[in-house]
Amino acid sequence: MAKGFNKYAGGGAGGMNNMLKQAQKMQAEMEKVQSEMEERTYEGTSGGGAVTVSVKGTKEVLSVKLQPDVVDPDDIEMLEDLILTAVNEAIKKASDDMEANMNKLTGGISIPGLF
């Protein structure tokens, strides 16, 4: 029975060791990609470029730039909305880029808790 088991389970201990090595290699590659992605910078804009926000791949906001003509003391609410829109766009770009790069490594297989 053990012989049949080895035949269908990938060759026994040798097959299991090979699978573990492949999993470790994939994990190392994923960690490298994730580290690289976290260092990238992403920009989001709104109001036709009136507001520009830069975030790191870690989704940390690095800067908020405003065109002078967007600052209207009588319409603070509009400025708040523009900033919020630009921040969300930049974060979405960072998330989408991370997901796309991880999908390249995993072949599109979803691994819970990965990113």
Please indicate, yes or no, if residue 112 is contained in any of the structural domains.
no
pLDDT of residue 1: 46
Please indicate, yes or no, if residue 113 is contained in any of the structural domains.
no
Please indicate, yes or no, if residue 115 is contained in any of the structural domains.
no
Residue 61, burial from CB neighbour count under 10 angstroms (0-12, 13-18, 19+)? middle
pLDDT of residue 27: 85
Rg (CA), the chain: 23
List the chain pLDDT tens, one digit each, 115 residues: 445 444 445 556 778 888 888 888 888 888 888 888 889 999 999 999 999 999 999 999 999 999 999 999 999 999 999 999 999 999 999 999 988 888 887 776 666 655 5
Please indicate, yes or no, if residue 49 is contained in any of the structural domains.
yes
Residue 25 belongs to domain spanning? 2-106
Please indicate, yes or no, if residue 31 is contained in any of the structural domains.
yes
pLDDT of residue 10: 52
Our CA angle for 33, 35, 38, nearest 5°, is: 105
Q: Read off the CATH number of the domain in which 21 is found.
A: 3.30.1310.10
Give this prediction's pTM: 0.70
Our count of domains for the chain comes to: 1
Q: Which two tokens stand for residue 71?
A: 């600052």
